[in-house]
Structure 1
Amino acid sequence: MSESALALSMPRMRQRLQLLLLLGASLTLSAVLITLRVFWTHELVFVFLLWNLFLALIPFGLSTMLGVAAGRLKARLLVPVGLAWLLFFPNAPYILTDLFHLERRAGVPYWYDLALILSCAWNGLMLTYASLLDMQALVARRLGWAAGWIFATVALLLSSFGIYLGRFLRFNSWDVITNPLSLFYDILSRLLHPLEHPRAWGVTLLYGVFLLLGYATVRLLGRLEQRPSS
């Protein structure tokens, strides 16, 4: 690597490290809130959120690997790793719908459970955007700016459909392998008869637009931060 390329890569490496430390601190907060609740109430009500956060970390881990090794990774490996990323990607924004579990419970302040679930939902959203940033950059480097944004838009819409499949039909990412026929049938029926499944397309479009607007906002804020002051 040339000295100029190394000089350009060092700021990116620092930014990556800062992002990992910040996400790690935020995830630790969620884990601490869940753990304290268990000791406080002797109940496992929200322990499932730890599993959901772990699933949300998988696409971020895959996109980080692709982003770091993009220049050295062979092209034939990009497609299977990218498909694995797309398969697990909906698990990150899916945590937003865990707000459905918020209700008043005896023995715990309502505000505490709200903060607990919001922290997990926030982490899911940030992992969504951080992961998509890497993947969009990878696509844009190979196919151009427009292709990068088309990819990001399609990925968020597909993830919103995945949220519907997970929240309302109770499918998981691994059902592609363990239960492919039922998954394929339910998806095909909603594609062929959309008017019979208004909730499927309502969730997909509403969450898709919400996630896309949020992602575009995060991207714009990042560019504003990079502009030199006059």
Structure 2
Amino acid sequence: MNSEPLLPTGRDNRARLPLTLAALGFATLWCLGLLCLRWRLTNNLHYAFLAWNLFLAVVPLGLALWLSRIHQRPLGLVVLLGWLVFFPNAPYVVTDLIHLSPYGRAPLWFDVLLLASFAMAALGMGLASLQLVHEWVEAQFSALIGWTVTILICPLAGFGVYLGRFGRWNSWDVVQRPVALLTDVAIQLTTPQSAARAIAMTLGFAGLLFVTYGIWWAHGRPLGLGQTRKH
């Protein structure tokens, strides 16, 4: 069986993933630095939850990095499923902007900077993980399947963001409370008002992910290392 490298072997492509991770690491330190500064200035931990939400956005990136090293298709599909469960945590941080208040103890512009920084850092982690997943699926199957799966992931993640923000569900509930979760999903989708909101938010975040990933993909090179295309 013949196989061809999925990636060019040039130095720029080998450096792409480490540089991306370094940039995301710097973004994380920037966010945590702003959060600590706000705490020192206001003696208030009102936005401390942002640190936890950013950590949850790191989880799908870690799973995607693991996936990029897996060559066995069955194991990879299991990891991919786990990644899909946690992936909505990345775009979810964007919804934390609803906590912005002009009556906070810090200047409003600072809180805008703080929330926007966390949102962009988390979204960046999500886009990096999505590209790694895209590359793995493409390497294991085909370019068409790779793009098809990537596009389908966007509305699934959008619905996950909706469940997290309005249903207050989290990724762990898929394992810990699956029956309750599915029951609530059925109720949400069969109640007209809830269904309309769910559809609108799902499509909205699907669009956000698709547009931002398109920009990310168009301006970057492959992130995965050592993957080969199956024939």
TM-score band, normalised by the shorter chain?
0.7 to 0.9
Paired position in structure 2 for 1:39: 40
Alpha-carbon distance, 1:7 to partner: 8.0
Paired position in structure 1 for 2:102: 104
Structure (1 or 2) with the greater helix fraction: 1
Deviations 1:59-105 (A, max 9, x none): 001111222x13xx433311221111001000000000000001113
How many Å separate the matches in 2 of 1:128 and 1:15? 16
1:115 aligns with 2:119: no
Deviations 1:17-55 (A, max 9, x none): 111111111110000001111121111111100000000
Give, as a single letter, the amino acid of the residue that structure 2 aligns with 1:90.
Answer: P
Paired position in structure 1 for 2:64: 63
Which structure 1 residue ranges, 5 or more long, are not aligned?
224-230
Deviations 1:85-133 (A, max 9, x none): 0010000000000000011134311110000000000011111110000
Which of 1 and 2 has higher RCO (CA within 8 Å, sep 6+)?
2
Equivalenced residues, count: 216
Which structure 2 residue ranges, 5 or more long, are not aligned?
222-231
Secondary structure of the corresponding residue to residue 8 of structure 1: coil
When residues 143 and 190 of structure 1 are mapped into structure 2, their CA distance, relative to the original with a 3 A threshold, is farther
1:194–1:201 contact (8 Å) kept in structure 2: no
The TM-score, its normalising length taken from structure 1, stands at 0.87
Alpha-carbon distance, 1:145 to partner: 1.3
1:64–1:131 contact (8 Å) kept in structure 2: yes
When residues 37 and 139 of structure 1 are mapped into structure 2, their CA distance, relative to the original with a 3 A threshold, is same
Give, as a single letter, the amino acid of the residue that structure 1 aligns with 2:92.
Answer: Y
How many Å separate the matches in 2 of 1:113 and 1:12? 37
Give me the identity figure in percent.
36
RMSD: 2.0
Map 1:24-173 onto structure 2 (within 5 A). 24-67=25-68, 69-70=69-70, 73-173=71-171
2:73–2:140 contact (8 Å) kept in structure 1: no
How many Å separate the matches in 2 of 1:213 and 1:163? 17
